[in-house]
Amino acid sequence: MTERTLPGRPPIIGPGYTSGTVTDKISEVVLKRTPRWWYVGFGLSLILVLLFFYAVAYLFTKGVGIWGVNVPVGWGWDITNFVWWIGIGHAGTLISAILLLLRQPWRNSINRFAEAMTLFAVACASTYPILHLGRPWVFYWLMPYPNSLGIWPQFRSPLVWDVFAVSTYATISLLFWFVGLIPDLATLRDRAAGKTAKVVYGILAMGWRGSARHWHNYESAYVMLAGLATFLVVSVHSVVSFDFASGLLPGWHTTVFPPYFVAGAIYSGFAMVLTLAIPLRAAFGLQDFITARHLQNMAKVMLATGLIVGYGYLIEIFLAWYSNDPYEKYMVVNRVMGPYAFQYWALIACNIVSPQFLWLRRVRSSTAALFVLSIVVNIGMWLERYVIIVTSLHRDFLPSSWGTYSGTIWDYATFIGTIGLFLALMFLFIRFLPAISIFEMRTILPEARSVEEGGP
């Protein structure tokens, strides 16, 4: 892989690293004793997981009526959270797949935990389609399986598309992540001291030997997966956006949704990667692997996708005006000045205004600023989904059936609960698996490059 370092640009890896030292530094995170802060963090997130279980238990005993949903607003926090989580997942796939195809070596130090983030985000997201059902215990009716009723899912429904899209997304992401892990698992297998560790990592490594033939097929399969995952990145959030785009509500029924949902997804995803990467590198002293360069690149991606999202907002308003459809026009007016105007302007501030600071190098190179910005954007993207869902639903065609919506304590509890679930999984991951891809880090070392460049 070629990589020309322009003057003034921080490098993508600290100086003086060799294959050996990289290996030691990353794998020791996993193999050495657990730091105290880990227990604290993991414990706290476990408490939130308990909150999640409590909320869900109450939900199942009483029914979705404990949430704020009503007629006309049949979806609220539940689907908002679903879309938000799914969106976050996208950065992982993008980084590991698209940047791989684009031969962006700087991805190599962030793709691993970005992919993990994807998995865990999807895990959180996929709880909502089940939880939001009136009768969650029959969720499996959405899947095609031979049954004594002789009746099947209704394949024209975007919700069935979701089932396929999300499950495919989860499966492919899992495979991609695991395939990426195999060589590193082998490394851990070979370096672990304890017998159990050896065996566990050994089983997972499946006997990886790093032979040329392995690498040969491996690389090919990895690129293939990357290619497929690239399709997924584009497709999954498009399909999610169909949930709205294929409805006929003003504010939902619009062709701009797929692209701008995808952009939004990547936007929020990178924000989340930053939110996670910044503390992570500090905690494990990985500044040499996740360098200022990485943060800056991600900042730039955020700026770009942020602008695309902004374009989406403008197009929405333009189309409403251009279509000259009274319902569409009213929808825009209602969004901007209606009962949910605050949420709308808040999201504009978070998603459109705040990223503009990223034009400034000073901001891009300030870790603290980036951290704050990333969180602001995450909030903004959540609000975006909330506004799209609630403002479109609460005032549609017949003024007689207009209503209002607000979440309840149980909506909040469930959401916070999933955040806890996400963090708990993240903590487990960084503790037991290499948070940075070791073998891919090796490939960007001088010694590796020399071969590839000098090679026949």
CA 5 to chain centre: 29
Q: What are the distances in angstroms from CA 268 to CA 86, 273, 312?
A: 10, 9, 15
Pick one of 8, 32, 37, 217: the residue that binds another protein (CB under 8 A).
217
Pick one of 10, 210, 279, 285: the residue that binds another protein (CB under 8 A).
210
Identity of the residue numbered 348: I
Pick one of 15, 16, 194, 454: the residue that binds another protein (CB under 8 A).
454
Count the residues in the chain.
456
Smaller CB separation from another protein, 16 or 455 = 455
Pick one of 4, 36, 156, 362: the residue that binds another protein (CB under 8 A).
156
CA 363 to chain centre: 24
Pick one of 147, 255, 323, 356: the residue that binds another protein (CB under 8 A).
147
Binding residues among 372-411 for another protein as defined by CB under 8 A:
393, 395-404
100 neighbors 440 (Cβ within 8 angstroms) = no
229 neighbors 183 (Cβ within 8 angstroms) = no
Pick one of 34, 220, 287, 323: the residue that binds another protein (CB under 8 A).
220
Pick one of 6, 193, 212, 368: the residue that binds another protein (CB under 8 A).
212
Smaller CB separation from another protein, 64 or 94 = 64
- State yes or no: residue 165 binds another protein (CB under 8 A): yes
CA quadruple 217, 220, 223, 227: dihedral, nearest 10: -120
Pick one of 42, 54, 141, 371: the residue that binds another protein (CB under 8 A).
141
Residues binding another protein: number (CB under 8 A)? 119
105 neighbors 428 (Cβ within 8 angstroms) = no
Pick one of 8, 15, 32, 145: the residue that binds another protein (CB under 8 A).
145
- State yes or no: residue 157 binds another protein (CB under 8 A): yes
Segment near another protein (CB under 8 A); pick from 111-119, 221-229, 361-369, 372-380: 221-229
Binding residues among 176-205 for another protein as defined by CB under 8 A:
176, 178-179, 183, 186-187, 189-191, 198-199, 202-203
Task: Tell me the two tokens of residue 194.
Answer: 């304890």
Segment near another protein (CB under 8 A); pick from 31-39, 171-179, 365-373, 374-382: 171-179
Task: Tell me the two tokens of residue 452.
Answer: 């590839």
Binding residues among 253-312 for another protein as defined by CB under 8 A:
none
Euclidean distance between CA atoms 36 and 272, whole angstroms: 24
Smaller CB separation from another protein, 311 or 402 = 402
Pick one of 10, 20, 35, 279: the residue that binds another protein (CB under 8 A).
20
- State yes or no: residue 131 binds another protein (CB under 8 A): no
- State yes or no: residue 235 binds another protein (CB under 8 A): yes
Burial of residue 52 (CB within 10 Å: 0-12, 13-18, 19+) is buried
User: H-type helices in 94-151, by residue range?
Assistant: 99-101, 111-131
Smaller CB separation from another protein, 42 or 397 = 397
Binding residues among 417-446 for another protein as defined by CB under 8 A:
439-440, 442-443
275 neighbors 371 (Cβ within 8 angstroms) = yes
Other CB atoms within 10 A of residue 101 CB: 12
The region that residue 207 occupies, defined by phi over 0 for left and psi between -120 and 50 for alpha, beta otherwise, is left
Q: Which of 404, 399, 384, 308 is nearest to 344 (CA)?
A: 384
In whole angstroms, the minimum distance from the beta carbon of 402 to another protein comes to 4
Binding residues among 310-369 for another protein as defined by CB under 8 A:
326, 330
User: H-type helices in 246-356, by residue range?
Assistant: 257-284, 292-323, 326-337, 341-348
- State yes or no: residue 137 binds another protein (CB under 8 A): yes
Euclidean distance between CA atoms 130 and 236, whole angstroms: 18
